[in-house]
C-alpha cells in the first residue's frame, strides 16, 4: 500500500528558513499536499502540487517535487513563531476514489 514518510522534528530560529522533507512510495500519486495542524485544531491545507509540476511558490511557501526520487519538500521563508505547528505531507492518486494518505507529521518549533 501507499506509504508517506517524514522527519519527525525540526527546530529553527525566527527569521530563518525551514525545510520539511517527505518521501512517498505510490508512483501513481497525483496530488501532493502540505497540511498544518496547530494544537487542538483540525488540519489546514497550506498548499498542494500536481505531479506534473516540480515547483510551486505561494508567498512564503515553496514546494519542490522530485518525482523520480518521490521526494517532496516544503520551504518556509522568514519563519515566524506563529509557524510553530505540526506539518503533514499527504498524497492522493486518481486511481480508485482518491484516498488521502498522510505521513506522521513533522513538528516545527520556531524559537525567538
Q: Which residues contact 53 (CB under 8 A, 6 or more apart)?
A: 65
Residues 46-85 that bind other proteins (CB under 8 A): 48
Q: Can residue 102 be called a binding residue for other proteins (CB under 8 A)?
A: yes
Judge contact between 34 and 85, C-beta under 8 A.
Answer: no
- Least CB distance from residue 88 to other proteins, whole Å? 6
CA–CA separation, 19 vs 72, rounded Å? 10
Q: Can residue 104 be called a binding residue for other proteins (CB under 8 A)?
A: yes
Residues 6-45 that bind other proteins (CB under 8 A): 30-31, 35, 40-45
- Binding residues for other proteins, per CB under 8 A? 4, 30-31, 35, 40-45, 48, 88, 90, 92-94, 96-105
Amino acid at each position: 500500500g501507499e506509504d508517506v514518510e517524514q522527519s519527525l522534528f525540526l527546530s529553527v530560529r525566527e527569521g530563518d528558513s525551514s525545510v520539511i522533507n517527505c518521501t512517498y512510495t505510490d508512483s501513481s500519486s497525483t496530488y501532493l499536499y502540505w497540511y498544518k495542524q496547530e494544537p487542538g485544531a483540525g488540519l489546514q491545507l497550506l498548499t498542494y502540487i500536481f505531479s506534473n509540476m516540480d515547483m510551486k511558490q505561494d508567498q512564503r511557501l515553496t514546494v519542490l517535487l522530485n518525482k523520480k526520487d518521490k521526494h517532496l519538500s516544503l520551504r518556509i521563508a522568514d519563519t515566524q513563531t506563529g509557524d510553530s505547528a505540526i506539518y503533514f505531507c499527504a498524497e492522493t492518486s486518481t486511481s480508485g476514489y482518491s484516498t488521502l494518505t498522510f505521513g506522521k507529521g513533522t513538528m516545527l518549533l520556531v524559537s525567538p
